[in-house]
Amino acid sequence: MSDIIQLLPDSVANQIAAGEVVQRPASVIKELVENSVDAGATKIDVLVVDAGKTSIQVIDNGKGMTETDARMAFERHATSKIRQASDLFALRTMGFRGEALPSIVAVSQVELKTRTSDDAVGTCINISGSKVVSQEPVSCPVGCNIQVKNLFYNVPARRRFLKQNATELSNIVSAFEKIVLVNPSIAFTFHSNGSEVYNLPSTKLRQRIIDVMGKRVDQTLLPINVDTTLVKIYGFVGKPESSKKKGAPQYFFVNNRYMRHPYFHKAVATAYERLIPSGEQIPYYIYMDVDPNDIDVNIHPTKTEIKFDNEQSIWQILLAGVKEALGTFCEMPELSFEQTAKIDIPVYNPVTKAPQPKPKIDSTFNPFADNYTIATKPARDWERLYYAASHEKNEAKLFAAPDGNDTKTDICSEKSPLHYQYKGQYIMTSVKSGLMIIDQHRAHVRILYEELLRQKAHQEMKTQKVLFPEIIELTPAEALAFEKIEEEITGLGFEVMNLGGGSFSVNGIPSGLKDVNPTILLHDIINSTKEGHADINDELFGNLCLSIARSAAISIGQVLSNDEMEMIINKLFACSNANYTPDGRQIFYILSQSDIDNVLK
């Protein structure tokens, strides 16, 4: 039998590595910009065309490379960052495995111009699909200028899986933000199709966060600073009032490297328990400095998942640090004795005995008299508790138990039935088979969602002008997401005008929305779209309708009258699907009469 195991050619091995390292244009941006950071650059320019599909260019003023190093940089596992295996556990640079550039050139056409300060002329190398096309001297400034063109030109299947330009550009901006937020001393610019998106000068950390996230975050940042022998933690967390339903910026960095860490996120969330509504997100920008020997950054190809040796101890330090930040800046509930009534406390005298307190008794009080005051008379509204029992013969027999077919039964009663609201969240009403418990917010979400779909189907979307236009400030990432959905937003009934500089004027909202903050609503819609990455118009429209319905629906804790509860029930069971919200959450539950009887036996 002949031998069948062979070494893969470098071109094939590079394409396999590219599958891990180069997943989309954003991956290329990350690798190239991190190389510029490691090269000691103080200014980095990033330029993309067609969301990086046509061209990605990164220009820096770093140390540059010699002619030999420029050629070696494109060989697999060729790196200046490590020399031996032990170096993997003392890393202070970003890239180190020597796979990024070989993986990139395996699936694109690359031109590199570079020069060191010791060389009179630089080097220009052109590589296409891992093959060197040309290498020649060139006049260029100190640093590197690398351009990646026609990404995945030789892997059509991979190129077809790229998303629309708006989505890919959003991913690029996200990757770019993660780098600039951890390198405030470096000046960055970012251009898309010739238009400037970011121009970030060298500055301090707080100002860099404001430059990236917008001026509105300036008043919401609380500094955190904890320095221990195990870890140094610094950065900023948001005030409780800055919490959002979704889309809050949440960043962890360790040794100047972005990371995802659900366990540490739980520590931050724990510090905000009972300070923000359940389910909302708090923004934070938290940086950690630890001994490189105590972490392993090489457990994932993208190096965003990092293993810590002392996770539990750091968790406790992080929790204490966030709580301290909240307490120091008066964001925690406190008991102020200065604001309470003054109480005269007598000085203790061992000779004088304090008199025994004597209770005051009203001997004329008669609890059975009809003329005692309302202050002492208990409310006699207890009869209302028995209203349903005493009027059971007139109470409606509403709906049959759900059997998966959305069965509905018309209300047949002499008068509107009485409903009960439990804890400002659930509507309780009797039905044919027992007791129905309805989540009022979810029910209203379903109602509003189907109303929006119906209006769209009948071309009935109308705009309600606002008396005083609201100004909404969007970050560059949010502005890009808005451009992606602007046409659909307008189709829903919004009227939004671009004022420039990330400012937008909301002049109109969909008619029928009452008591809704249009700026919060638009922020929720934009962040939902960023997270959902919907590309198909119908899917995108459905996501937008769902975002509007969630924001405009009655909230938990809102007190409803009996007529309002009746209207919600009637409208809910007129929907095409009364059982679940559009995102699949159960709306109501029926506690059967037999279960009630069994419990109360």
Q: What is the pLDDT of residues 257-275, one digit of tens each?
A: 898 889 999 999 999 988 8
The pLDDT, as a whole number, for residue 274 is: 84
Tell me the per-residue pLDDT of 134-161, one tens digit each, with 9 for 90 and over.
999 999 999 999 999 999 988 888 888 8
Instruction: Report which DSSP code applies to 4.
Output: -
- Three-state secondary structure call for residue 218: helix
Q: Which two tokens stand for residue 473?
A: 């400030």
Tell me the per-residue pLDDT of 101-118, one tens digit each, with 9 for 90 and over.
888 988 999 999 999 999
Instruction: Report which DSSP code applies to 339.
Output: G
Instruction: Report which DSSP code applies to 323.
Output: H
* CB neighbour list of residue 598: distance below 8 Å, 6 or more residues apart: none
The pLDDT, as a whole number, for residue 376 is: 44
State the average pLDDT for the chain.
79
pLDDT band at 460 (very low <50, low <70, confident <90, very high): low
The pLDDT, as a whole number, for residue 594 is: 87
Length of the chain: 601
What beta strand segments (E) does 143-212 contain?
143-149, 187-192, 195-200
Task: Give, for 591, the enclosing helix (H) or strand (E).
Answer: strand 588-592
Q: Is the pLDDT of residue 530 over 80?
A: no
pLDDT band at 568 (very low <50, low <70, confident <90, very high): very high
Minimum mean pLDDT range among 34-48, 347-361, 405-419, 569-583: 405-419
Which residues, listed in sequence order, are joined to residue 58 by a DSSP beta bridge?
46, 146
Q: Which two tokens stand for residue 91?
A: 């890393």
Cβ neighbours, 10 Å, residue 183: 22
> 301 and 21 in contact (C-beta within 8 Å)?
yes
Q: Is the pLDDT of residue 542 over 50?
A: yes
Tell me the per-residue pLDDT of 50-99, one tens digit each, with 9 for 90 and over.
999 999 999 999 999 999 888 888 886 655 554 444 444 455 555 544 57
CA–CA dist 374, 278 (Å, integer): 40
The pLDDT, as a whole number, for residue 375 is: 45
Q: Is the pLDDT of residue 205 over 50?
A: yes
Q: Which two tokens stand for residue 72?
A: 């070696």
The pLDDT, as a whole number, for residue 94 is: 53
pLDDT band at 292 (very low <50, low <70, confident <90, very high): confident
The pLDDT, as a whole number, for residue 406 is: 44
Q: Is the pLDDT of residue 416 over 90?
A: no
Task: Give, for 328, the enclosing helix (H) or strand (E).
Answer: helix 311-328
Residue range 181-195: average pLDDT? 95
- Give Cα 429 to chain centroid, integer Å: 37
Q: Which two tokens stand for residue 357?
A: 């307190």
Task: Please report how many Cα atoms fall inside a 13 Å half-sphere around the Cα of residue 273, on the Cβ side.
Answer: 6
Q: Is the pLDDT of residue 429 over 60?
A: yes
The pLDDT, as a whole number, for residue 535 is: 46
DSSP states along 86-99: GGGGS--SS--SS-
Residue range 392-417: average pLDDT? 42
CA–CA dist 541, 529 (Å, integer): 10
> 517 and 552 in contact (C-beta within 8 Å)?
no
CA–CA dist 426, 438 (Å, integer): 5
Residue for token digits 């950690």?
A: 288
pLDDT band at 363 (very low <50, low <70, confident <90, very high): low
- Three-state secondary structure call for residue 510: strand
Q: Which two tokens stand for residue 566?
A: 């009746």
DSSP states along 351-402: SSPPPPP-----TT--TT-SSS-TTTSPP-GGGGGGHHHHTGGGS----PPP
Cβ neighbours, 10 Å, residue 237: 26
CA–CA dist 513, 545 (Å, integer): 12
Share of the chain above pLDDT 70, in %: 74
Tell me the per-residue pLDDT of 502-528, one tens digit each, with 9 for 90 and over.
888 988 887 766 666 778 778 877 776
Q: Is the pLDDT of residue 378 over 60?
A: no
Residue for token digits 């238009």?
A: 195
Minimum mean pLDDT range among 90-104, 276-290, 432-446, 449-463: 90-104
> 84 and 109 in contact (C-beta within 8 Å)?
no
563 phi and psi angles, rounded to 5 deg:
-65, -40
Percent helix, strand and coil across the chain, each to the nearest 5: 35, 25, 40
pLDDT band at 365 (very low <50, low <70, confident <90, very high): low
User: Which residue in 100, 146, 101 sits closest to 123, CA to CA?
Assistant: 146
Q: Is the pLDDT of residue 125 over 90?
A: yes
Out of 198-202, 238-242, 496-500, 580-584, the most confident range is: 198-202
Tell me the per-residue pLDDT of 465-495, one tens digit each, with 9 for 90 and over.
888 888 888 888 888 888 878 887 887 778 8
Which residues, listed in sequence order, are joined to residue 134 by a DSSP beta bridge?
126
DSSP states along 420-482: EEETTTEEEEEETTEEEEEEHHHHHHHHHHHHHHHHHHTT---EEEEEEEEEEE--HHHHHHH
Cβ neighbours, 10 Å, residue 175: 21
CA–CA dist 260, 310 (Å, integer): 16
Q: Is the pLDDT of residue 390 over 60?
A: no
Largest CA distance in the chain: 114
Q: Is the pLDDT of residue 451 over 50?
A: yes
The pLDDT, as a whole number, for residue 371 is: 53
- Three-state secondary structure call for residue 270: helix
Residue for token digits 């995108």?
A: 540
Residue for token digits 């919004």?
A: 494
Q: Is the pLDDT of residue 383 over 60?
A: no
Could you tell me the pTM of the whole model? 0.67
What beta strand segments (E) does 92-220 contain?
109-115, 122-128, 131-138, 143-149, 187-192, 195-200
pLDDT band at 598 (very low <50, low <70, confident <90, very high): confident
> 304 and 260 in contact (C-beta within 8 Å)?
yes
> 120 and 67 in contact (C-beta within 8 Å)?
no
Residue range 173-197: average pLDDT? 94
pLDDT band at 2 (very low <50, low <70, confident <90, very high): low
CA–CA dist 292, 311 (Å, integer): 14
Kindly tell me the burial class for residue 450, based on how many C-beta atoms sit within 10 Å of its own C-beta (0-12, 13-18, 19 or more).
Answer: buried
pLDDT band at 13 (very low <50, low <70, confident <90, very high): low
Q: Is the pLDDT of residue 224 over 60?
A: yes
